[in-house]
Structure 1
Amino acid sequence: MSEHKQEYLAEKEYVDDKHDIERSSVILEEEENSPIPEVAAIVSNKDDPSLPTLTFRYWVMAIVFSCLLSFVNQFFWFRTNPMSISALVIQLVSYPFGKFMATVLPAGRLNPGPFNIKEHVLVGLTANCAAGTAYAVDITVIQKVFYKQDFGFLANFLLILTTQMLGYGMAGVLRRYLVYPAAMIWPANLVQVALFNTLHKDEDLAPGQWSRYKFFMVATLAMFCYHWLPGFLFPVMSSIAWVCWINPNSRLLGQIGGYKGLGIGAISLDWNNIVAYLSSPLVVPWWAQVNIFIGFFVIAWVMTPIAYYTNLWDAKKFPIISAGLFRVDGSDYNTTLVMTNFVLDEDKYAEYGPLRISTFFALTYGVGFAGLSSMITHTWLYHRHKLVAQWRQSREHSEDIHHRLMQAYPEVPDWWYGGLFVLMTVVAVVTCEVWDYKLPWWAVLMGIALSCIFVLPVGLIQALTNQQPGLNIITEYVIGYILPGRPIANVTFKTLGYISMAQALTFTSDLKLGHYMKVPPRAMFWAQLTGTFIAGLVNLLTANWLLTTKENICTPDGGNFQCLFVNTFYSASVIWGVISPNRMFGPTSIYNAINYFFLIGLVLPIPFYYLKKRFPNTWMEYIHIPVILAATGMMPPAAAYHYTNWLAVGFAFQYFMRRYHSEWHLRYTYILSAAFDSGVAFMVLIGFFIFDYREKEMAKWWGTRRDICPLNGVPTIPPPEIPPPK
């Protein structure tokens, strides 16, 4: 199961956005251009090497916006309904900020002329490196909250730094294969190129038409004002589970219509709830949303009820949808009672009993297995000829006009990348050896080696198709067999093996964006390094601040800070680390059948491939098995009603508005998404410091109740009552 946001999406923007790009592009002169039509349509074949880049204006905006973005996103990561502010917001906000600085600063070295597009791209690149929350922060959190272990700030920061920056060294090698060649498109970057070009040219406004910035500011203010209702004054609006309200004392209706159950009919009028786990539905193409709906419907509303109500794997003893850990009788599993010195104790485990998980949770792991293997088959069937042809083209005809224009700038020396990679590898080994992560040096090197082995083939797939197969399941599976019973070692190995590769491809994608925008490579290097360092530091400081100031954080009593992502991360550390995959999914486990999902995923794309060939130019063209299987990758911690409301909003904008109001959709939809994210973020932050931080609450009334459905999602067979300690 995917544990990080947005991994469930494959080919997220390419098909539909290609149409948008072509419509919004600047028509280029008939001169030498990229051999790739999509790139030729949007990327300029001109450059001005005299434009300044690493200016005082850039450094001010890069540092300020990176600190703000990394703080806000880490803060929201702990929220019960998390959300993420994308770098797109910074891309929009930094433009008038840069223009303002260029106006008010005295002319000279601090203000070398008008705010230009290359400065703007660098601010966006730095913010993009700071936008994601550092994966290793979750290791620190589960150590402190669940395992009652604290290695201190230095150990935590070094682990974050190494796992976030190891990818730089890989990116230095990958640029020759994934950045320079014209065939390596990185389709998602074309949307950003279009937006940068749009912002830096005069808008052609019709009479009475709003500029994008006016629209952004008005929509942000409107959402800021509105979100006080579901966010504070009337929180029941966040999850109107009317099916459950028909009979609040019905266990069945609580399972079917409750927001902790199947969520059938549950309505959310809270933007934060809608985008909490699946990103914004305003920017995901409709064809992808249809595939996600098919996967969600089959997995959550067909397979899960059948499995639950037939009592598969004693399903009725556990909640219908949950990431919790349970004993055989349905009571909570206390991991500390089976461990000695943070390692599984065989005798204690034999006495305490095996681990059980909800049937839905087990099924999502199986679907995750199928999704991983289906990606292999799908890529081979649909993209093998394209991959081979474009790989050959990339080696034979790599020097297109954009690559030649980039020759005007000094390249980053290989030893910069190589030295950083070696340094981070040494720091990773030293960190795991000095502090007791239970991960020996050879395992650290093995995790890094897995990243190095997979990063190029996965990068080729992503550069051409926007798909990135994740290594999280494989890494935790492998180390779970090699070093069973060690939870912190398991998640550390997973982070080294999985996130290092993901970071490398993020950096490579940004290098391609800089390549398209003709930004000097050395400026990009320092911009990425700056954003990553700031993000790691601010993420950790924010996490430590919340852990020390917010009572009961990351627990069921944490209120708005129940950290559902962290809880799922912890559950994975127990399943794969403490108990180990052999005990959970091995021959003697009741969940052994889950392993057959690997085979199912390997075979499933084959019939749809031949049906597509048999019936070309039909709806079969849009069936995408990896996307369908990855649909519920965010469940848990996401609930079913998050999906239904997300899909409803997606239908309104990506189908209805796109089809019947295409000009408005093309001009404002992405801006509206960024504005809604910003408005919610401002309201939640202000509300936190005014009320939550001062431990003030809204006056109690019906609209603030959380117990309208007391049997919301509870198990059919309740666990035995545990007598209080004497």
Structure 2
Amino acid sequence: MSVQKTEHNAEEFIDEKIDLEQSSVILEEEENSPIPEVAAIVSNKDDPTTPVMTFRYWVMAVIFSIILSFFNQFFAFRTNPMTISTLVIQLLSYPFGRFLAAVLPHGRLNPGPFNIKEHVLVALTANCAAGTAYAVDITVIQKVFYGEDFGFLANFLLILCTQILGYGMAGVLRRYLVYPAAMIWPANLVQVALFNTLHKEEDLKPGQWTRFKFFLVATGLMFLYQWIPGFLFPVLSSIAWICWIKPDNLVLSQLTGAGGLGIGAISLDWNNIVSFLGSPLIVPWWAQVNIALGFFIIAWVMVPIAYYTNLWEAKKFPILTPALFTRDGQEYDTQQILTNNVLDDKKYEEYGPLRISTFFALTYGIGFAGLASMMTHTWLYHRHKLVAQWKQSRDHTEDIHHKLMQAYPEVPDWWYAALFITMTAIAIITCEVWDYKLPWWGVILAVALSAIFSLPVGLIQAITNQQPGLNIITEYVIGYILPGRPIANVTFKTLGYISMAQAMTFTSDLKLGHYMKIPPRAMFWAQLLGTVIAGLVNLLTANWLLRSQKDICTEKNHLFSCPSANTFYSASVIWGVIAPDRMFGPTSMYNAINYFFLIGFILPIPFYYLKKVMPNSFLEYVHIPVLLAATGMMPPAQAYHYTNWLAVGFAFQFFARRYHPEWHLRFTYVLSAAFDSGVAFMVLVSFFVFTIRDATMVEWWGTRYDLCPLEGQPYYPPTEPAPAPAPAA
């Protein structure tokens, strides 16, 4: 997200001395952060007497954490998923906090006005509950695709340890990634600016709306509008008008259908637009340009060329799908090659090798390239800054914010150590007691990989706002060590990848608390509270939907087809059942995919030197890792999701930002939160009033799903033999 115009400029900070009972800190005259962007946004003042973990905090933290974790897990199962961001909670908790301060009796339960520190802590707790637990997908694919259920306790323990392990790592990382001024964490500056904006009286012109009034009106309007594409007229969600011209033309359907490459397809459904990529209203325009360029090159140039030249027998399969196939294009029945959910070599030889769509294979290749390019890009563009700031962090250079934080008792190291050891032990016990087929040493290896990579990844993210993912590496490693074990593969990936990702989330939140002067021990308990609530609510919501929805996570259920869980399942088969040696090894037809590691490693180099030769040109905005990550959500995302997302992004992040900057600054983020909220309320009302009772809209042309019937069909029907494929370049 781009950094908003700051509410405080560095010149506005007046000289001040603080002499409080809780603090012996004396500010030097005009002392501020040595980082200009931090000095311009983050206040260099603090009042340690400000109440934080009040009764109001506990009420709002628990309520909003439950709501957010339920909403996001519920929407994760939907065919067009969406995520309610913490921004919504930031906006809603502000008037709710002020309301509680007004109605509660004054005293210990209501110690004065609702303050900014309470507000920050509520948002941070909710932020820990915002992301759906990755391990829930393990439970889903076990029940739906592998026909096994270890029970609620096993599921919850796995979720708990994978979500909290990273917190123990954050305790070590804080010395290097939180305390030093050099560790900026740019995304947090946006949050600081928003909190300051909400708690500062708005300077309104006559007749001008407050942000909160704008939020309420926009939410109500979107709630009413969403009934049209979401229930009454679903065709508006994906208007593949070019395909409708001649729906019986296979190539036209593949290129222009919503289930194909989506050329010209239009969506008038906000849920559809934000379902996989998040809101386009908060992504800076330079990043959207890179995403657009990457999408165009990969989805509309590389994929059609590869498909229609029949690369890797492409024409036997649909042009865009995460599904798994046999050699003749039939659906791959994984159960035919498993015994007790472990690969049976004899059955595999009889049934035949696994085939995937060319686009799916290229997606993995692009993922390899993106990971390698991140390393090269970071070294070329940020090595001097990283080295300098690493040296500074080792010196424990204290800026004003670190000095102010000395007023509060720090969290003892043994708290974090105990948490880390306990969660590792729970992970080992869970995998040993229940049949996850991941031995104790596999758990330790996964945790070790996560711990080893956490500091270098954190250094990169703290400076560049980019996080290299470990999901591909972890799948690769365990796929070679323990081939043929799908549940072991996804469990290892979750322990290795999500533990690191959670460590980055926790560390980032600790830095936000550092900027806003939240007592560290309050942060500790707030983060644990949000994480535990989220894990419990995520699992309860998933189990409820798995029991109540018929044919959930299949194509038969149009509302709850679980695109992410299906892709997760496909990955478990590719990396776990078949394993990387068979799938991408020397004897595989997809072996060329491995060269993408080298391509990604080299690609940033010419652009780096071209920028030196041609400074101040368009090359300044080319960011190879962002470009390569453009199609990272495809599949399960469809091409038309990207085109409509980019169109809306252009309207707000380019046009509105350039030609209506004042309106953009005041209302764009608020509008994004309002639209998300309006859609969420509509979908839930629709679900409980109609869907759960098996009531549907009266069938008419606007409710049909077959207006472009060939968009998901292969070029060669499965029953017809295809000609020999073109050799892999």
Q: What is the match of residue 663 of structure 1?
A: 662
Question: What is the CA–CA distance in structure 2 between the aligned matches of 1:293 and 1:95, rounded to whole Å?
Answer: 36
Question: What is the CA–CA distance in structure 2 between the aligned matches of 1:21 and 1:240, rounded to whole Å?
Answer: 41
1:116-168 Cα offsets, whole Å, 9 max, x none, are 11111100000000000000000000000000010000000000000000011
CA-CA distance at 1:22 after TM superposition:
7.3
CA-CA distance at 1:711 after TM superposition:
0.7
Question: What is the CA–CA distance in structure 2 between the aligned matches of 1:713 and 1:350, rounded to whole Å?
Answer: 29
Question: What is the CA–CA distance in structure 2 between the aligned matches of 1:137 and 1:319, rounded to whole Å?
Answer: 29
Q: Between Structure 1 and Structure 2, how many residues are aligned?
A: 706
2:13 to 8, 14, 28: 28
Root-mean-square deviation (Å)? 1.1
SS across alignment from 1:693: helix
Amino acid at match of 2:154: A
SS across alignment from 2:693: coil
Question: What is the CA–CA distance in structure 2 between the aligned matches of 1:25 and 1:154, rounded to whole Å?
Answer: 52
Q: What is the match of residue 552 of structure 1?
A: 551
Pairs within 5 Å for 1:114-153: 114-153=113-152
1:280-328 Cα offsets, whole Å, 9 max, x none, are 0000000000000010000000000000000001000000000000000
SS across alignment from 2:295: helix
SS across alignment from 1:580: helix
SS across alignment from 1:493: helix
CA-CA distance at 1:253 after TM superposition:
1.1
Question: What is the CA–CA distance in structure 2 between the aligned matches of 1:210 and 1:695, rounded to whole Å?
Answer: 41
1:7-51 Cα offsets, whole Å, 9 max, x none, are xxxxxx3xx42x634788993236110000000001000001111
Task: Give yes or no for the alignment of 1:209 onto 2:194.
Answer: no
Pairs within 5 Å for 1:473-488: 473-488=472-487
Question: What is the CA–CA distance in structure 1 between the aligned matches of 2:130 and 2:182, rounded to whole Å?
Answer: 28
Q: What is the match of residue 4 of structure 1?
A: none
1:648-686 Cα offsets, whole Å, 9 max, x none, are 000000000000001100110000000000000000000
Amino acid at match of 2:331: D
Question: What is the CA–CA distance in structure 2 between the aligned matches of 1:713 and 1:342, rounded to whole Å?
Answer: 30
Task: Give yes or no for the alignment of 1:249 onto 2:248.
Answer: yes
CA-CA distance at 1:395 after TM superposition:
2.8
Question: What is the CA–CA distance in structure 2 between the aligned matches of 1:567 and 1:615, rounded to whole Å?
Answer: 45
Contact 2:179 2:396 in 1 (8 A): no
CA-CA distance at 1:546 after TM superposition:
0.2
Question: What is the CA–CA distance in structure 1 between the aligned matches of 2:159 and 2:91, rounded to whole Å?
Answer: 29
Pairs within 5 Å for 1:72-111: 72-111=71-110
Using a 3 Å threshold, how does the CA distance of structure 1 residues 26 and 537 change in structure 2: closer, same or farther?
farther
Aligned identity (percent) is: 77
Amino acid at match of 1:220: T
Question: What is the CA–CA distance in structure 2 between the aligned matches of 1:411 and 1:37, rounded to whole Å?
Answer: 27
Contact 1:24 1:194 in 2 (8 A): no
Contact 1:255 1:320 in 2 (8 A): yes
Question: What is the CA–CA distance in structure 2 between the aligned matches of 1:347 and 1:55, rounded to whole Å?
Answer: 63
Q: What is the match of residue 273 of structure 2?
A: 274
Question: What is the CA–CA distance in structure 2 between the aligned matches of 1:34 and 1:367, rounded to whole Å?
Answer: 39
Task: Give yes or no for the alignment of 1:380 onto 2:379.
Answer: yes
Q: What is the match of residue 168 of structure 2?
A: 169
Using a 3 Å threshold, how does the CA distance of structure 1 residues 199 and 22 change in structure 2: closer, same or farther?
closer
Question: What is the CA–CA distance in structure 1 between the aligned matches of 2:71 and 2:7, rounded to whole Å?
Answer: 34
Q: What is the match of residue 6 of structure 1?
A: none
Amino acid at match of 1:428: A
1:424-467 Cα offsets, whole Å, 9 max, x none, are 00000000000000000000000000000000000000000000
SS across alignment from 2:134: coil
1:579-633 Cα offsets, whole Å, 9 max, x none, are 0000000000000000000000010000000000111111111100000110000
Amino acid at match of 1:467: Q
Task: Give yes or no for the alignment of 1:410 onto 2:395.
Answer: no
Contact 2:138 2:490 in 1 (8 A): yes
Amino acid at match of 1:460: L
Pairs within 5 Å for 1:52-63: 52-63=51-62
Q: What is the match of residue 8 of structure 1?
A: none
Using a 3 Å threshold, how does the CA distance of structure 1 residues 25 and 90 change in structure 2: closer, same or farther?
farther
Question: What is the CA–CA distance in structure 2 between the aligned matches of 1:147 and 1:397, rounded to whole Å?
Answer: 50
Q: What is the match of residue 340 of structure 2?
A: 341
Pairs within 5 Å for 1:489-568: 489-568=488-567
CA-CA distance at 1:709 after TM superposition:
1.0
Amino acid at match of 2:696: E
CA-CA distance at 1:559 after TM superposition:
1.7
Question: What is the CA–CA distance in structure 2 between the aligned matches of 1:140 and 1:162, rounded to whole Å?
Answer: 14
Using a 3 Å threshold, how does the CA distance of structure 1 residues 345 and 25 change in structure 2: closer, same or farther?
farther
Pairs within 5 Å for 1:579-658: 579-658=578-657
Contact 2:8 2:40 in 1 (8 A): no
Question: What is the CA–CA distance in structure 1 between the aligned matches of 2:711 and 2:62, rounded to whole Å?
Answer: 45
Q: What is the match of residue 577 of structure 1?
A: 576
Question: What is the CA–CA distance in structure 1 between the aligned matches of 2:644 and 2:381, rounded to whole Å?
Answer: 32
Q: Which moved more, 1:164-173 or 1:25-34?
A: 25-34
Question: What is the CA–CA distance in structure 2 between the aligned matches of 1:658 and 1:395, rounded to whole Å?
Answer: 40
Gap regions ≥5 residues in structure 1:
1-12, 722-726
Question: What is the CA–CA distance in structure 1 between the aligned matches of 2:205 and 2:38, rounded to whole Å?
Answer: 28
CA-CA distance at 1:398 after TM superposition:
2.0
Q: What is the match of residue 321 of structure 2?
A: 322
Q: What is the match of residue 367 of structure 2?
A: 368
Question: What is the CA–CA distance in structure 1 between the aligned matches of 2:58 and 2:564, rounded to whole Å?
Answer: 33
Scaled by the length of structure 1, the TM-score of the pair is 0.96
Contact 1:281 1:646 in 2 (8 A): yes
Question: What is the CA–CA distance in structure 1 between the aligned matches of 2:106 and 2:190, rounded to whole Å?
Answer: 33
Question: What is the CA–CA distance in structure 2 between the aligned matches of 1:473 and 1:395, rounded to whole Å?
Answer: 31
Contact 2:8 2:43 in 1 (8 A): no
Contact 1:26 1:42 in 2 (8 A): no
Using a 3 Å threshold, how does the CA distance of structure 1 residues 94 and 26 change in structure 2: closer, same or farther?
farther
Amino acid at match of 2:233: F
Q: What is the match of residue 64 of structure 2?
A: 65
Q: What is the match of residue 694 of structure 2?
A: 695
Amino acid at match of 2:153: L
Q: What is the match of residue 711 of structure 2?
A: 712
Question: What is the CA–CA distance in structure 1 between the aligned matches of 2:437 and 2:547, rounded to whole Å?
Answer: 26
Contact 2:9 2:40 in 1 (8 A): no
CA-CA distance at 1:392 after TM superposition:
1.6
Task: Give yes or no for the alignment of 1:462 onto 2:447.
Answer: no
Contact 1:25 1:194 in 2 (8 A): no
Contact 1:21 1:191 in 2 (8 A): no
1:78-97 Cα offsets, whole Å, 9 max, x none, are 00000000011001000000
Contact 1:85 1:131 in 2 (8 A): yes
Question: What is the CA–CA distance in structure 2 between the aligned matches of 1:24 and 1:349, rounded to whole Å?
Answer: 66
Question: What is the CA–CA distance in structure 2 between the aligned matches of 1:713 and 1:609, rounded to whole Å?
Answer: 40
Amino acid at match of 1:456: L
Q: Which moved more, 1:28-37 or 1:208-217?
A: 28-37
Gap regions ≥5 residues in structure 2:
16-29, 721-729
Contact 2:8 2:41 in 1 (8 A): no
Amino acid at match of 1:483: L
CA-CA distance at 1:713 after TM superposition:
2.8
Scaled by the length of structure 2, the TM-score of the pair is 0.96
Question: What is the CA–CA distance in structure 1 between the aligned matches of 2:214 and 2:9, rounded to whole Å?
Answer: 18
CA-CA distance at 1:344 after TM superposition:
0.1
Amino acid at match of 2:41: I
Using a 3 Å threshold, how does the CA distance of structure 1 residues 276 and 153 change in structure 2: closer, same or farther?
same
Amino acid at match of 2:289: V
1:73-117 Cα offsets, whole Å, 9 max, x none, are 000000000000001100100000000000000011111111111
CA-CA distance at 1:243 after TM superposition:
0.9
